[in-house]
Chains A and B, each alone.
Chain A
Amino acid sequence: MAKNDLLGGSLWDNYSAKVADRMDNPVYQGEITEAEAEAMNAKLIVADWGAESCGDAVRLYWAVDKDNDKIVKASFKSFGCGTAIASSDMMVELCLGKTVDEAIQITNLDVEKALRDNPDTPAVPPQKMHCSVMAYDVIKQAAAIFKGVEKGILDDDEMVCECARVTLKTIQEVIRINDLTSVEQITDYTKAGAFCKSCIKPGGHEKKKFYLEDILKETRAQMEIEAAQKREVPFAERSTFQKMRMIENFFEAEIKPLLHKDGGDVEILDIKENGADTVVSISYKGACMGCSSALTGTLSFIEQGLKDKVDASISVSVE
């Protein structure tokens, strides 16, 4: 809290003139009919996103040229507040003239930037950023209908903060790399949680799959386990279960992603303790099967990695 937080309330005064004008006089409000699209040699796409019960709903109409996938005409209808209507109107304008693949690249941040009166002043106050997210989602929905796929395929994976477009992976990384201990720090580093604040903890404007509070707690817990593993108990003194877990983690994090790149894979068949030694039995899969380096270069890469990063007592045998 500080001086600027004490009065609050002047929500509408923080809208850009463009937002106010687009609310008062939306340019692209309306429908496109099948006949209109057909007359333009275009395919009509009608996409809905949101619901009245959530407080925001938008419908996007695209006429997509049958020959070159260009959006030749577009319009919208919206159930939402002023910023939702203004964002939808600007989103439609940004779609026009683009191909469907180009339009998918438009994000809510582009829409918000286009609504600014000058480049350095946000078009809407932070708590209104989520209204432009609808505009982003409905484009994805329209593109999914056009391509005949599920919208999920086009979504970025595990988006935690939709206002600032920050993924789960990014948040986990900044926590680890910068040793962050508070949600405020995550917001400072990534802008996640700076806008509508729904992703900070349950109880905000929207229900989310992930919350910054939980991600922070879980990542910190994981970091502590890892740190404890590093500093305390030597490998030889660990339980069989812990040894297995450490070896599995190493394969998941370091080996499999590399093999996947070349279409290969590896499976751990068994982990045996033989006195002070640990023997890991593996079998190759996919492109690794029959690969000439599987029993030479790749094998020694795996074994050396295990010796360096887990424990020197480990050897690998291929079944």
Chain B
Amino acid sequence: MERIYLDSNATTVVDPLVKQAMDPFFCQMYGNPNSLHRFGTETHPAMSIALDRIYDSLGAADEDDIIINGCATEGNNTIFKSVFMDSLAKGKPCHIITSQIEHPSVLHTCQYLEKEQGVQVTYLPVNSDGIVTLDALKEALVPGKTSLVSVMWANNETGLINPVKELAEYTKSQGVLFHTDAVQAVGKIPVSLKEVPADFLTFSAHKFHGPKGVGGLYIRQGASITPLLHGGEQMGKLRAGTVNVPYMVGMGLAIELAVQHTEFYDTEVRRLRDKLEDAILALPDTMIIGDRKFRTPNTILASFKGIEGEAFLWDLNQKGIAASTGSACSSEELEADATFQAMDMDNNLSHTGVRFSLSRFTTEEEIDGAIDTIQKTVHRLRAISSTY
């Protein structure tokens, strides 16, 4: 069976060029980069090139740090726990502002700090467009008290893009640190740390056709962190642990290729996304969450009235199509979709959401095949439905 992958916000296929670039660092140049001998040092040029590619792709200055780590979850944990440790050391209370629609690696970390460590956390709501606003931030931020503001660049479920530039600028003007989880933005839309004065930014290679298990944490010059992992002297002592050389090399090429494809993404991926979106909207009683002009070019969160999200995924999967849902029945945690709830939408919608996310490898044939299967699925499951 031909398979169609439309779950690229979960993870992406590794670009074959990236895999090729990583290959020599498994069985030939496998030395520990910290070693003095040639096995170690021969890895350095490739690591240096990877670092250049990552810095260039994000518009980072040489004075800034980008720590190569295991994933964006690690980067997010590092920032929040560092800010908490810092306020402990200074003996002052810790106040963190984030949003209601963050990824679990932010939300659950905040909830842990709030419930177990007594940190005060403010969760900003979104407006009716599903976006975090400057007004909401202004209301919550207390100069001299707030320690950190963290708002995701783009949302994983809806693809909705937050105004991080103005949020970061305002936060900085109040003398407060700003972090953004840019996992769903890097490789999909232009991300420039020259434009956005964030102190911290986190990203993950496997969302832009790099390998899983490697990510990065950007730290602007002047901002400092307490490491999450203590140990050796890797990454300027900010993240101990032997550097995963092949994965770092892979991430370097992957981010460069992703940035080179930004234009392609904005035109071709967007065109296919819009084609799929229009086909879904042509079906009766369907809706798409969030205006498409506010979204990353690859993401659709659709609601099909009368069809439970997981049942929809089941039918798609039987036909070889991968999509996803944030709704109740899909996960072991059985929690309702935070994005729907935060957007204050009709409660019924939180169980009918299905997310389709494309990549630059998605083809027109795949989209046509998906449209055909989606139409059949809607027809079959609505015939069974007791609520349609």
Binding site for B on A (CB under 8 A): 8-9, 11-12, 23-24, 26, 29, 48, 52-59, 76-82, 84-85, 127, 131, 196, 198, 204-205
Interchain CB contact under 8 A, A80 and B308: yes
- Chain A residues within 8 Å of B307, by CB: 79
- Chain B residues within 8 Å of A79, by CB: 306-308, 385-388
Q: Does chain A have a CB within 8 A of B383?
A: yes
Q: Is the interface of B mostly helix, strand, loop or mixed?
A: loop
| 22 contacts across the A-B interface (CB closer than 8 A) | A23-B311, A23-B314, A52-B348, A52-B387, A55-B327, A56-B329, A57-B387, A59-B386, A77-B385, A78-B385, A79-B308, A79-B385, A81-B308, A81-B310, A81-B330, A82-B311, A84-B308, A85-B384, A196-B334, A198-B334, A205-B328, A205-B335
- Chain B residues within 8 Å of A12, by CB: 314, 317
Nearest B residue (CB) for A9: B332
- Given known A-B contacts A57-B387, A78-B385, A8 and B308 have beta carbons under 8 A apart: no
B326 smallest CB distance to A (angstroms): 12
Cβ < 8 Å to A, chain B residues 284-323? 306-308, 310-311, 314, 317-318
- Chain A residues within 8 Å of B308, by CB: 55-56, 79-81, 84
B387 smallest CB distance to A (angstroms): 4
Roughly how many angstroms separate A23 CA and B312 CA in the complex, as a whole number? 11
Interchain CB contact under 8 A, B332 and A58: no
Q: Which of A54, A77, A81, A196 has the most CB of B within 10 A?
A: A81
Roughly how many angstroms separate A78 CA and B330 CA in the complex, as a whole number? 17
A234 smallest CB distance to B (angstroms): 45
Interchain CB contact under 8 A, A53 and B314: no
Roughly how many angstroms separate A24 CA and B314 CA in the complex, as a whole number? 9
B325 smallest CB distance to A (angstroms): 10
Interchain CB contact under 8 A, A81 and B383: no
Number of A-B contacts (CB under 8 A): 75
Q: Is the interface of A mostly helix, strand, loop or mixed?
A: mixed
Q: Does chain A have a CB within 8 A of B242?
A: no
Which of B310, B351, B384 has a CB less than 8 Å from the CB of A52?
A: B351
B254 smallest CB distance to A (angstroms): 25
Interchain CB contact under 8 A, B318 and A24: yes
Q: Which of A8, A78, A79, A82 has the most CB of B within 10 A?
A: A79
- Given known A-B contacts A55-B328, A205-B334, A81 and B314 have beta carbons under 8 A apart: yes
Rank and list the top 4 A-B pairs by shortest CB-CB distance, nearest first: A77-B386, A205-B334, A81-B310, A59-B386
Roughly how many angstroms separate A76 CA and B332 CA in the complex, as a whole number? 26
Q: Which of B306, B317, B327, B387 has the most CB of A within 10 A?
A: B387
Which of A26, A55, A56, A198 has a CB less than 8 Å from the CB of B384?
A: A26
Q: Does chain A have a CB within 8 A of B347?
A: yes
- Chain B residues within 8 Å of A53, by CB: 347-348, 350-351
Interchain CB contact under 8 A, B334 and A127: yes
Roughly how many angstroms separate A120 CA and B384 CA in the complex, as a whole number? 30
- Chain A residues within 8 Å of B383, by CB: 29
Roughly how many angstroms separate A48 CA and B387 CA in the complex, as a whole number? 10
Interchain CB contact under 8 A, B310 and A82: yes
Roughly how many angstroms separate A68 CA and B106 CA in the complex, as a whole number? 61
Roughly how many angstroms separate A56 CA and B388 CA in the complex, as a whole number? 13
Roughly how many angstroms separate A11 CA and B331 CA in the complex, as a whole number? 8
- Chain A residues within 8 Å of B311, by CB: 23, 80-82, 84-85
